[in-house]
Amino acid sequence: MAIAMQRSTGIPEAADELELMTGEAVGLDLRPTSFVLRAAGAIIDFIAYFGLWLFILVAISSPFLSGFLDEASAAAIRVSALVFCLVVAPTTIETMTQGKSLGKLAVGARIVRDDGGSISLRHAFIRSLTGVLEVFSTFGGIAAITALLNGRTKRTGDLLAGTYSQNERLSKITPPVYGVPLELAGWAVTADVARMPYGLSRRIAQFLHQASKLTPDARDRLSRSLAAEASVFVSPLPPANAELFLAAVAAVRREREFTGLGLQAQRLEHLRPALTDLPHGFPER
């Protein structure tokens, strides 16, 4: 059954919305932390900071310290300890660890700016200050509602600070080793395969690696969807089914990139004497 694909003059509709383009036009596939993981990390942080505050309360109520403090001093210390545990400690920890905390370490997350960079003191302070209202005062109610309505699971503090939680524990995808299918060997010789966005090529490689584990319907549906996106970067289109087309495109791109790297290494080796040798007649010291 031949593959049915249409060309378009713009960007494919299913382009990866989470792909961040750097100033060098390099696509970075950054994944936000899911709502469940964010909730788990927030619970751990809540227990840690609230437990620290309870520990301070128990300490100042102990017989050893209560004799040195009057009621006013004890009340001031309790309020100061609450501010320290809810605002100062989270701000300091996230600033020094560049977006980490105990809960985020447990779930493999890190707070970063919207452009993927590390957060500063300002970002951490805004998040901690708004966290008093949306996390601690409402037991995470406002934060949960905001995160569920946001594509990157941002809470209110993230929206105000311009940050989001990035998932750093992505499973390593083993690149598939496929050759060009025999049916498309002749097509591969003259095929023009342009450079694809990183997100698309990564999804194609992941599909080819896991295709055998999918149900037939899901396998056919995903292959057709990816083939429709990849067809924008391929000319001419071969008369083959979607999965064979994806395997051939991946193999052609891999072989040509390998050949290009080999030619580049040969050119550098050819220029090495001119780059490393001394000019004619120049004394070697």
Beta bridge partners of 167: 109
Q: Span 210-215, mean pLDDT?
A: 79
Cα(211)–Cα(227) distance, rounded to whole angstroms? 14
The CB density around residue 51, as the number of other CB atoms within 10 Å, is 11
Q: What are phi and psi of 164, to 5 degrees?
A: -155, 165
| Of 194 and 97, the one with more pLDDT | 97
Under a CB-based contact definition with an 8 Å cutoff, are residues 203 and 226 in contact?
A: yes
* 266, pLDDT greater than 70: yes
Q: What is the pLDDT of residues 1-44, one digit of tens each?
A: 344 443 333 333 333 445 555 444 444 556 888 899 999 999 99
Helices (H), 25-140: 35-61, 63-66, 71-83, 89-96, 102-107, 121-131
- Which pLDDT does position 173 carry in this prediction? 47
- Which pLDDT does position 71 carry in this prediction? 80
- Which pLDDT does position 25 carry in this prediction? 42
Cα(245)–Cα(161) distance, rounded to whole angstroms? 44
- Which pLDDT does position 279 carry in this prediction? 66
Q: What is the pLDDT of residues 48-77, one digit of tens each?
A: 998 999 998 888 888 777 767 778 888 888
* 160, pLDDT greater than 80: yes
Q: Which of helix, strand or coil describes residue 96?
A: helix
Computed over every residue of the chain, the mean pLDDT equals 79
- Which pLDDT does position 129 carry in this prediction? 92
Q: Which of helix, strand or coil describes residue 21?
A: strand
- Which pLDDT does position 44 carry in this prediction? 93
Asked, as a colleague might, if the bond just before 283 is cis with ω within 30 of 0, I would say: no
| CA angle 95–98–99, rounded 5-degree value | 90
Confidence tier at 195 by pLDDT (50, 70, 90): confident
Q: Which amino acid is at 59?
A: A
Q: Which of helix, strand or coil describes residue 3?
A: coil
Q: Span 259-263, mean pLDDT?
A: 74
Under a CB-based contact definition with an 8 Å cutoff, are residues 5 and 225 in contact?
A: no
- Rounded to 10°, the helix 121-131/89-96 angle is 150
Its pTM stands at 0.55
